[in-house]
Amino acid sequence: MEHVQIHVHAGAPALRLSNVISALSFALDLTEGQPMGHSVNCCMLGMRLADIIGIPDSQKRDLYYSLLLKDAGCSSNAHRMFEVFGGNELRAKREVKTQDWTRVSFEGLTYLMRNVMPGRPTFERLLTLANIAVKRDATTGEFMQLRCERGAQIARMMGFSEITCQAIYRLDEHWDGKGYPDGLRGDEIPLFARILNLCQTLEVFMSVNGLREAMQVVEERSGGWFDPELVTALMTLEGETEMWGRMQDGTAQSWVIENEPHSDELIADDSRVDNICDAFAAVVDAKSPYTHRHSRGVTRITLAIGEKLGFDTGITTMLRRAALLHDIGKLSVPNNILDKPGKLTANEWETVRLHPYYTQRILERIDGFQHLAYIASAHHEKLDGSGYYRNLRATQLPMPARALTVADMYDALTANRPYRDGLPVERALEIIGQEVPRALDADCFAALKELSPCPGEDPDPNS
């Protein structure tokens, strides 16, 4: 049977760190319930604000990457928000940016009424609402602590400075001392964290209600949420029509890449790229307790199959990264679907089926990752065209994609899921074997069977 060939050249162009991180920030937008492009918009705005207030060039790179990675910890509180609210946590996260539920107000009550236990009996909803209201401060603190700690940790995994990590950690502190995680006040809050909070709030309100109303909100919260001097500086940018236009027409990423601080652009060597892929795999796996080791498990199995099939070094490097990032599009799926113990509705299943589409859209934004994006987003495709999201057929699926599909299916079958316990190895292999060779590759399946009894097992339980 004819196979699509994937060629990886040793002399491929070097990857710019700004390109890699700005592209992957689109995944962070998804897990925060924002339209893709939110983080690069914030970065563009934050860097212009840095120019206005005179931040030295030597410090701008730390701000630049903290703006792009500000939401790196957002997946870590997704399951907990689902447990507390009982609904679509992506919608709840999106709305909380514009409606403050942490204050006792009509606005806060309507937010809770929309997002707590939707579709459940009235009495059950009222009990949950009352419980949330009583524990409001503690619950908010828990959500923010999870997000802030994990975000800083992810940035450290990627090798960014402690200044960047602290800006991410302090993202939700407020000028008046009523923010999170530690209630810092005024100048106690790192300057870069103050910039992050201001820029993200303005960008969200602008995307929903337009620039003029967004500016009004920022002015109203000056001295409360925001540093008044930063707000004053931000107001001077209102007339920069080109910047606001780029934030609205989807071209902010190109500006962000072109305007990375310092003239010596940072090149991400193989080790740095691998660290970034590992870190983003951790972001993906943190979204649900049922997938907390999935990306790493799939990667180990995929590479073991590839070794059996004799993949060369270039293919193996590409395939490792594709396996780590294959589910990055799953950050678009809310946890009330991911963690649902029962059968999915047709609409819910369609949401799940679209996650490889988002994987493709995110990864193809990285120059030089086009083949990787194709392989990663094909992990649910089948040889007979019965897979998703593109219904590819055998001649369109190269061997690395086939190996990834088999590995993903094996890991999913042997892992615990909300609707069933993990299956024994023998049963998982039996189920996979029923789709060979019609839908799954026979050589990849044979390689899987030759592995140890638990090919997806992590030898280090703490890794």
List average pLDDT for each run of 10 residues in the chain, which is 463 residues long: 44 80 97 94 98 95 98 89 78 71 62 76 78 73 87 96 98 94 96 97 93 95 96 96 94 95 80 96 94 94 97 96 98 94 94 97 96 98 97 97 98 90 94 98 97 56 37
The string of DSSP codes covering 203-262 is: HHHHHHH-HHHHHHHHHHTBTTTB-HHHHHHHHTTTT-HHHHHHHHHT-HHHHHHHT-SS
CATH of the domain at 437: 1.10.3210.10
65: in domain: yes
Given 141, 157, 192, the domain boundary residue is 141
The residues that bridge with 267 in the sheet, in sequence order, are: 16
5: in domain: no
Which domain range does residue 409 map to? Answer: 269-450
Annotated catalytic residues are 330
Q: Quick one: 314 and 386 in the same domain? A: yes
pLDDT of residue 105: 63
Q: Quick one: 295 and 149 in the same domain? A: no
92: in domain: yes
Q: Quick one: 184 and 51 in the same domain? A: yes
Look at residue 87 and give its three-state secondary structure.
coil
How far CA 27 is from CA of 12, 37, 95, in Å, comes to 25, 9, 18
Q: Quick one: 43 and 135 in the same domain? A: no
Q: Quick one: 114 and 226 in the same domain? A: no
Asked if residues 18 and 257 have their Cβ atoms less than 8 Å apart, the reply is yes
Helix (H) or strand (E) holding 16: strand 15-16
| pTM (two decimals) | 0.89
pLDDT of residue 459: 43
Look at residue 211 and give its three-state secondary structure.
helix
Given 96, 118, 141, the domain boundary residue is 141
Q: Quick one: 188 and 239 in the same domain? A: yes
pLDDT of residue 85: 75
pLDDT of residue 326: 98
Q: Quick one: 279 and 259 in the same domain? A: no
Q: Quick one: 204 and 118 in the same domain? A: no
Question: How many domains, in total, are found in the chain?
Answer: 3
pLDDT of residue 94: 75
pLDDT of residue 95: 72
What's the DSSP call for residue 417?
B
410: in domain: yes
What's the DSSP call for residue 12?
P
Asked if residues 142 and 83 have their Cβ atoms less than 8 Å apart, the reply is no
pLDDT of residue 99: 66
Given 267, 288, 320, the domain boundary residue is 267
455: in domain: no
pLDDT of residue 7: 47
4: in domain: no
156: in domain: yes
Give the separation between CA 169 and CA 284, rounded to whole angstroms.
Answer: 19
Q: Quick one: 276 and 286 in the same domain? A: yes
Q: Quick one: 81 and 45 in the same domain? A: no
How far CA 96 is from CA of 29, 90, 112, 204, in Å, comes to 14, 10, 10, 10
100: in domain: yes
User: Is-cis flag, bond preceding 190, omega within 30?
Assistant: no
267-268 and 15-16: which strand pairing?
antiparallel
Q: Quick one: 202 and 213 in the same domain? A: yes
Q: Quick one: 71 and 220 in the same domain? A: yes
What's the DSSP call for residue 312?
-
Give the separation between CA 55 and CA 47, rounded to whole angstroms.
Answer: 9
Task: Give the CA angle between residues 93, 101, 68 to the nearest 5°.
Answer: 35
Give the separation between CA 454 and CA 425, rounded to whole angstroms.
Answer: 7
